[in-house]
Amino acid sequence: MAKKICLLMPLILLCALTLPLSVEAADQQPLVYVKRDIILNSYGYLLLNDTLTFVNTSPNPLRLPTLTLTYPTTTIDLQVQPPLSEDSVKVERLGNLSSSRIGANLMIAASSNLTITLRAVLGDLLKPVGENMYEMILPLPSSPDTQLAEAVVTVSFPTDINLVNAPEEFKLSEGGSVWSAELKDIQPTAEPRTAKLLINGTDYSLTVLKVEREERVVKITSPTEVTIFDTLTLVNEGSGTLSYLKVSDKGLSSVTLLRGDIPLRDQKVIPIIGGSLDLYSLIKGNLKAGERITFTISYTLPERATVSDNTITLKIPQKPLIDALVTKYYLIIDAPQGCKVEGPTLLDLSYSSPLSNKEINVSVRFGAAWASAYAFPAATLIFLASFIALSAYVASRKEAKEHPLLELIKLYENALNSQETIADELAAERLERLQIQKIDLFAQQIKEIRAKTSLKASQIRSKLTLDPKTEEMLTEFTSLDKAYERTLTELLAAYRNYLSGKLKREAFQKVLSDKSSSLRKLASTIRDLLDEMS
């Protein structure tokens, strides 16, 4: 008996020593580190990128704990990256607050770490407090149930936006364009933690643009004809001025502005230059602080449709048209009578942002009922065929007669588009990185464009016999084109003077605003004139 007790004693002692360790391992939680990068968009919303690192200091594997992060506003289009899936994050909204609850069946290896990333768009955190002055509510990492070991927060601003006042934790980075703060030992709190920043900008560098409502109608006319109609209501809630609208779909090259007082054949086509729509082309002016506009534009669905066996399969982008937050957003599928639609025909996509990459899949089958609605008697078909052939003959004769003029108009349009692209590239450059050599390069490119255009135009005009009205319009075009060249040259000169220290920043901003506005108005007037000539 004594011998058995002696043999059991080491085993009992071993169990006693390992039991507390097992309990400790079971109760131990990984350390949570947060890296939050925030970018302020020039339309007033915040793009948030969170990198969460769970550090396991234990010699045993740990299960990924459930973590809740809170925000002082509505989170829009929250996205996750592997190893998480969309089902791993649950977003809850309560009034003006929101939270994301992260939970996944993942293990963190012993003495290792696991990193996950989140992206989202936040709105309603910027409000004007004076002329070109804004109060910005910065969301700091916070959780109601988990202690955060450390959080590093960075915030960056668009060009010509300056930080006037911020909590002392925020320091300017070495590059001079990013502010950051390092926070440690963040205790759980029921309310989201925030910091208030005071920033200022210029009239054209920052505002708060809201899309109050967007209604997108996808009209399917035939298996080969799909048109999107977007009706938008925009309001400028900031103190800045909008001269153009950034378009979120980079595949679009132009849109058609629809107006009820103009016949469909005469509707105006507006080009998208440098990813932007010129507001002067839409409303003959800028969108100033407090103003609201509503307009409808149309465009074809770009390269997102496939046709097979009388069935068209559509991939409709959920992303809003304009690079701004949309409060109310509805999508409608309008298919011909007699067609079978597989998929949603009415969707509520409210609270959407340009961050969304989702697509809506819809299939439309064109059956016999649709075909019969468009069937014609044989005599009618013969008449239509004859009429189309005659129309084609007349059109071809007319086009042959006017071809040199149309070629000239197209030449001038391409030259204008090329110069606008250069002006947009110049505007997109960050002033602190811009060099005079780049200005000289832009000037040389513009000079080459105009020289080639002038040479080609002379060759085409030698073939033209013009009536007095067209001759008068060409003379007017020449005057406008010279004014455009002069204004663009003055804009480049202002950049040179600023970069060389001859022009102060405030004076430069005024010249930049005036010349940019003049260029947009001249370009719109030139396009209207060329449209009239064609």
Q: Look at residue 501 in the predicted model and tell me its pLDDT.
A: 85
- State the Cα–Cα distance between residues 202 and 509, nearest whole angstrom: 8
Show the 3-state SS of 283-299. Answer: HCCCECCCCEEEEEEEE
How does strand 209-222 pair with strand 325-334? parallel
Q: Look at residue 373 in the predicted model and tell me its pLDDT.
A: 47
107: β partners: 63
Q: How wide is the angle at C-alpha 288 spanned by C-alphas 326 and 177, nearest 5°?
A: 75
C-alpha pair distances (Å), 331 with each of 24, 252, 265, 336: 54, 19, 26, 17
Q: Check if 29-200 and 209-375 are the same fold.
A: yes
Q: Look at residue 302 in the predicted model and tell me its pLDDT.
A: 65
Question: Cα torsion at 318, 321, 326, 330 (round to 10°)?
Answer: -50
Is the CATH number of domain 209-375 2.60.40? yes
Provide, rounded to the nearest whole percent, the portion of the chain with pLDDT above 90: 32
Q: What is the pLDDT along the chain (534 residues), one digit of tens a residue?
A: 444 444 445 444 444 444 443 333 446 789 999 999 999 999 999 999 999 999 999 999 999 999 999 999 988 999 988 888 888 888 888 777 889 999 888 899 999 999 999 999 999 999 999 888 999 999 999 999 999 999 999 999 988 888 999 999 999 886 667 999 999 999 999 889 999 999 998 888 899 999 999 999 999 888 778 889 999 999 999 998 888 899 988 888 888 888 655 555 557 788 887 788 888 888 888 899 999 999 999 998 766 566 667 788 888 888 899 999 998 999 999 988 878 888 888 999 988 999 988 888 888 887 655 554 444 444 443 444 444 444 444 444 444 344 788 888 888 888 888 888 888 778 777 777 788 888 888 888 888 888 888 888 888 888 878 788 888 888 888 889 999 998 988 888 888 888 888 888 778 878 887 888 888 888 888 888 888 887
CATH number for domain 29-200, candidates 3.30.1220, 1.20.272, 2.60.40, 3.30.2390: 2.60.40
**Residue indicated by tokens 């930080």:** 163
Q: Look at residue 20 in the predicted model and tell me its pLDDT.
A: 42
- Cis omega before residue 404 (within 30°)? no
Q: Which amino acid would we find at residue 361?
A: N
Domain layout of the chain by residue ranges: 29-200, 209-375, 388-533
Q: Look at residue 380 in the predicted model and tell me its pLDDT.
A: 40
Residues with Cβ < 8 Å from 222, sequence gap 6 or more?
336, 366
Phi, psi at residue 256, to the nearest 5°? Answer: -110, 125
Q: Which amino acid would we find at residue 216?
A: R
Q: Would you state the structure tokens that stand for residue 406, as one six-digit string?
A: 């149309």
Q: How wide is the angle at C-alpha 219 spanned by C-alphas 216 and 225, nearest 5°?
A: 130
Q: Look at residue 451 in the predicted model and tell me its pLDDT.
A: 86
DSSP symbol at 350:
-
**49-62 pLDDT tens trace:** 999 999 999 999 99
Helix axes 436-461, 468-499, angle to 10 degrees: 170
**176-230 pLDDT tens trace:** 679 999 999 999 998 899 999 999 988 888 999 999 999 999 998 887 788 899 9
How does strand 148-156 pair with strand 31-40? parallel
